[in-house]
Amino acid sequence: MDTELANNFISEFKRIFEDGVDKIKKACEIYVKALDCGEPGVQKAFELANPTVSRSMWASFEMVGRGLMHERLIYMNGRAGHTLRRLPMTQQKQALESGVEIMTEDKEVLLVQMENITPIQASLAFASDHIRTPGEQRAVLESGKLKKMSFKKVDPVYKVNGSKIFITGPMQLTKSDLLRMLSEIE
């Protein structure tokens, strides 16, 4: 695809997506105004008019509309997003806009954007009720708790038959794993 054409698609997508997030925030504010008007059955009326929206999503809409949850967290999954939802709005904004400090096993501190945070980094950076400081993260690393939470590397489950490789189970490959597998092909 032509670079200029690709950039045009990317720019258009970004503009529409950002407009969509802004409109979701406005819709959430309207939902809260309706809830606060005091009319009985308003929440049920919204649910009936929008049957594809889950109850947990309505709760998120209310939190966004009341300014208790950042609108970007509506579409953020995983441990990091789940923990951020429970934090004060200032901490949510800071993490979403600036990223989160993550301490490596070498005691180096990295600033990681929320879009790039791995599950292991999220486990290290987020306690159940706050974002851990680098000092708290160091204590977690030194206590060995993170090793209990980390993913265990499993030997690849595959079989080479002639010029084909058959994957027989879920696996994660490194470059060296892939090169080793390719070298086994006849």
Question: Are 60 and 85 found together in one domain?
Answer: no
Q: What is the pLDDT of residue 177?
A: 76
| SS3 readout for 79-138 | HHHHHHHCCCHHHHHHHHHHCEEEECCCCCEEEECHHHCCHHHHHHHECCCCECCHHHHH
Question: Are 102 and 70 found together in one domain?
Answer: no
Domain housing 83: 77-152
Tokens representing 82?
């789940």
Number of domains in the chain: 3
Q: Which of 50, 75, 100 is the last residue of a domain?
A: 75
Q: Which of 57, 75, 93 is the last residue of a domain?
A: 75
Question: Are 3 and 71 found together in one domain?
Answer: yes
Does the pTM surpass 0.85? The reply is no
Question: Are 96 and 136 found together in one domain?
Answer: yes
Per-residue pLDDT of the chain (186 residues; tens, 9 = 90+): 678 888 899 999 999 999 999 999 999 999 999 999 988 999 999 999 999 999 889 999 999 999 999 999 998 877 788 888 889 999 999 999 999 999 988 889 999 999 888 888 888 998 888 899 999 999 998 888 766 554 444 455 677 788 888 777 766 677 877 788 788 887
Question: Are 145 and 127 found together in one domain?
Answer: yes
